[in-house]
Amino acid sequence: MMVESLTTRMHISKAKTLLAFCISILLLFSGATSAKIEQPNIIKDLHYGEVLFHFYQEDYFTSIVHLLAARQLNRTSNHVPEDELLLGGIDLSYGLHKEATRIFDKLLQGNVRETIKNRAYYYLAKIYYQRGYLDESAGFLNNVSGPVQESIFGELKLLTGQVHMSQGKYDAAIASLDKWKAPKSYRHYANYNLGIAHTKRGNINTGIDYLKKVGKLKAKTETMRTLRDRANLASGLTLIQNDRPAESIKYLEKVRLDGLYSNLALLGIGWANSNANRHESALVPLMELRNRSPYHSEVQEGILALAHAYNEMGLFGRAVQAYEKAADIYLKEAQALSYSANEIQQGALVDALLDRTKGGPQMGWFWTLRDLPELPEVKYFTELLAEHEFHEALKNFRDLLFLKKNLRHWDENIEIYLTMLDTRKARYQKYLPLVQQRLNGLDLTKLQSQQDALSFAINEIENDNAFIELATAEEKRKLAQIEELEQRIELLKLQEPENNKISQMREKLELMRGIMRWQIHSAYIERKWNHKQDISEINKHLSITPDKSDSIKKAISESVEKFDEFEARILALHKEIKRLIPIADRVFEEQSRYLEHVAVKELKKREKILAGYEKHARYELASAYDAAASSASSGAKSVEPQEAKPKKRGWWPW
């Protein structure tokens, strides 16, 4: 019976969070495992790789914008049709189910490779599964045949198992996962799912064996540690459900005390011990649970279980106290919930969220739901986050907030482009006459003939070995000076033929000339090479000058048109921004109300459960008083009889 209660509670909890679980486990798979197994893509277009860079960081908005732009500018032509498949995949991640479905449908109708089709089927199956259309999802998975890309193979296998399990086809789920030699990063998930499928099928021991493998894993990451906790919890709860409470404890005790499932595990240990009539042992986990935040439903249930354990042990005084405390807590928490719901209706939730997401336009996107702190304005906020409907509503709220900020950002900044355009126009007007003057003065024929003459001259020099022609101006000046001095010496020689000094001077001059010519000759080869290089450079420039000239002329003729076109585009985009702003505001407001509605709905639901708990605690309190009184009057075992003395309460019937 006790187990029934626990499992009933578990079923209720499961029913509430089934979709959340399915989505989160899927996300868990895709996030945690694809990073390891997926082979790096071979990038054939840099812009495609740039989109992946943002996509892998879960920055879906930027990746879609860049991919749309790259496709429009034909920059992903080497990745057709993968680029379209990628777009569908990112759309899916960004919550654009309709657009993603349209893309995949279109791809499937086209003549594409089998691997592409299989990937499209996989994505479609995922979309339909996430939206709860299990038969359709299974249909898409059935269509997968032939080769599958390695990057999605593991996820495809897991999804297949998941869909079968959701359909209650545990044998099919087992068949699909059993013989799969899963890679290391998928193995634990596969074993976990196999464990669950077997236990659901009634193969308890086989199921526990699979779960045991996961429960023992040496986890290095938080994701893996959480999976290990889940496996141990599943083993423990399954054993309780199957009247093997004593065995279950060792599994439940392996669940971390500070993990996501610690409350549930403590409650499980408490129930298991009680079920095995070890009420004293049940006290320890239940008392630990009692000290935890009363916001959690496991803690709330644990308080009642603790009171009950006291009652069973005959500690009626403590039982009375515990029931009273439980009833008070339930009442207080129900009031707190009611207050919180009221606050949410007054806008406290939305205000608190907006307050924590102040900042630039990017702030709307990058805050993740798990990073959000507890909101003191809204009690039970973390509890609410566990609810799929609330989680989805909050994601849309976040996305809309980002869109609003994005539109405001562009609205404020698009004017800059107009200013930039004006500056460019002014600059154009300023330099246009000068450029036109230069263009008009450009005589390509003349330049070409000059260049030809230069080429001819250098060839002549080379043929004649006329190295003197390549002397520098200074060298030429010095040679001329030497020549002039020689002429003067010749005249002097005529006047004084016997003068030895004149002969010596002449010899010196000849030596100097020789040195000069030697120097010029030495530098000749380098100079000739440099000249040829220069001529070649001129040739190069001359060859592209017509194109450049044409391109400048074209730019001049098109500039005014282009300026007008830019201006028209900017104005049209600004108009579109202005059109979208009020729509975004309206949708955001509606989504805020919807978020509040979902939150209030969940809180009210919880409030009613608490009211039920309270009612029951009060009922049991009466029974405990009764038992305490009977036990005292019969002189039977009654510990702390003074504690059992009931306080006078209005509702007490006698």
Partner 1 sequence: MYKKFLLFLTCILLTYVCSVGADIGDLNASEDQDFQGLDEDIQVLKEEVLELNRDLYILEEELLYPSSTQVAVYVSVDVGDFFDLDSVQDTLNEKIVANYLYTEREVEALLRGGVHQIYIGNLPSGEHELIAYFVGRGPKGRDFKRGANRIIDKGLGAKYLELKITDRTPKHQPDFIVKEWE
> 274 to 333, contacts with partner 1 by CB under 8 A?
274, 304, 308, 311-312
In angstroms, give the least distance from the CB of 514 to partner 1: 42
* Nearer CB in complex with partner 1: 106/604: 604
The token duo for 52 is 């992946």
* Nearer CB in complex with partner 1: 254/278: 278
213 lies in the binding site for partner 1 (CB under 8 A): no
* Nearer CB in complex with partner 1: 44/488: 44
Q: Are 646 and 625 in contact (CB under 8 A)?
A: yes
636 lies in the binding site for partner 1 (CB under 8 A): no
Helix (H/G/I), strand (E/B), else coil: 110: coil
* Nearer CB in complex with partner 1: 255/304: 304
CA 647/CA 644 separation, integer angstroms = 9
Going by C-beta distance under 8 Å and a sequence separation of 6 or more, which residues neighbour residue 19?
132, 388
Q: How many CB atoms lie within 10 A of CB 591?
A: 19
Which helix (H) or strand (E) covers residue 212, if one does? helix 204-215
563 lies in the binding site for partner 1 (CB under 8 A): no
Q: Which residue has the tokens 């023992």?
A: 216
Q: Interaction with partner 1 in 421-440: which residues (CB under 8 A)?
A: 421
CA 24/CA 18 separation, integer angstroms = 10
Of positions 20, 50, 224, 411, contacts partner 1 by CB under 8 A: 50
590 lies in the binding site for partner 1 (CB under 8 A): yes
Of positions 14, 27, 31, 69, contacts partner 1 by CB under 8 A: 69
Of positions 31, 41, 432, 539, contacts partner 1 by CB under 8 A: 41
- Quick one: residue 232, left, alpha or beta (phi over 0 = left, psi -120 to 50 = alpha)? alpha
- Of the candidates 397, 389, 297, the one whose C-alpha atom is nearest the C-alpha of residue 349 is 397
Q: How many CB atoms lie within 10 A of CB 196?
A: 21
Phi and psi at 326, nearest 5°, equal -60, -45
In angstroms, give the least distance from the CB of 73 to partner 1: 7
Provide the mask over 184-203, with x wherever binding to partner 1 is found by CB under 8 A and - wherever it is not.
--------------------
561 lies in the binding site for partner 1 (CB under 8 A): no
For 47, what's the count of Cα atoms within 13 Å in the CB-facing half-sphere?
18
Q: Which stretch binds partner 1 (CB under 8 A): 94-102, 315-323, 531-539, 629-637?
A: 94-102
Of positions 21, 94, 366, 428, contacts partner 1 by CB under 8 A: 94
* Nearer CB in complex with partner 1: 162/274: 274
Q: Which residue has the tokens 């900042």?
A: 359
Of positions 97, 244, 254, 408, contacts partner 1 by CB under 8 A: 97
* Nearer CB in complex with partner 1: 102/113: 102
Of positions 378, 577, 603, 628, contacts partner 1 by CB under 8 A: 577
12 lies in the binding site for partner 1 (CB under 8 A): yes
The token duo for 307 is 């009171």
Look up residue 291 and give its amino acid: N
CA separation, residue 138 to residues 26, 180, 514 (Å): 15, 19, 99
Q: How many positions of this chain bind partner 1 (CB under 8 A)?
A: 82
605 lies in the binding site for partner 1 (CB under 8 A): yes
Q: Which stretch binds partner 1 (CB under 8 A): 280-288, 337-345, 437-445, 591-599?
A: 591-599
Of positions 553, 569, 637, 649, contacts partner 1 by CB under 8 A: 569
407 lies in the binding site for partner 1 (CB under 8 A): yes
CA 111 to chain centre: 32
In angstroms, give the least distance from the CB of 335 to partner 1: 18
CA 422 to chain centre: 39
The token duo for 123 is 């994505």
In angstroms, give the least distance from the CB of 647 to partner 1: 22
Of positions 551, 558, 630, 649, contacts partner 1 by CB under 8 A: 551
Provide the mask over 611-630, with x wherever binding to partner 1 is found by CB under 8 A and - wherever it is not.
xxx-xx---x--x-------
Provide the mask over 338-377, with x wherever binding to partner 1 is found by CB under 8 A and - wherever it is not.
----------------------------------------
406 lies in the binding site for partner 1 (CB under 8 A): yes
Of positions 591, 599, 618, 644, contacts partner 1 by CB under 8 A: 591
* Nearer CB in complex with partner 1: 214/595: 595
Q: Are 247 and 273 in contact (CB under 8 A)?
A: no
Annotate 551-608 with DSSP letters as a single string: HHHHHHHHHHHHHHHHHHHHHHHHHHHHHHHHHHHHHHHHHHHHHHHHHHHHHHHHHH
Of positions 294, 492, 594, 646, contacts partner 1 by CB under 8 A: 594
68 lies in the binding site for partner 1 (CB under 8 A): yes
- Of the candidates 129, 99, 179, the one whose C-alpha atom is nearest the C-alpha of residue 26 is 129
580 lies in the binding site for partner 1 (CB under 8 A): yes
Of positions 107, 403, 471, 482, contacts partner 1 by CB under 8 A: 403
Of positions 54, 164, 188, 379, contacts partner 1 by CB under 8 A: 54
560 lies in the binding site for partner 1 (CB under 8 A): no
Q: DSSP 3-state helix, strand, coil percentages of the chain (rounded to 5)?
A: 80, 0, 20
Q: Are 123 and 92 in contact (CB under 8 A)?
A: yes
Burial code (b: 16+ CB inside 10 Å, e: under 16) for 73-104 equals eebbeebebbbbbbbbbbbbbbebeeebbebb
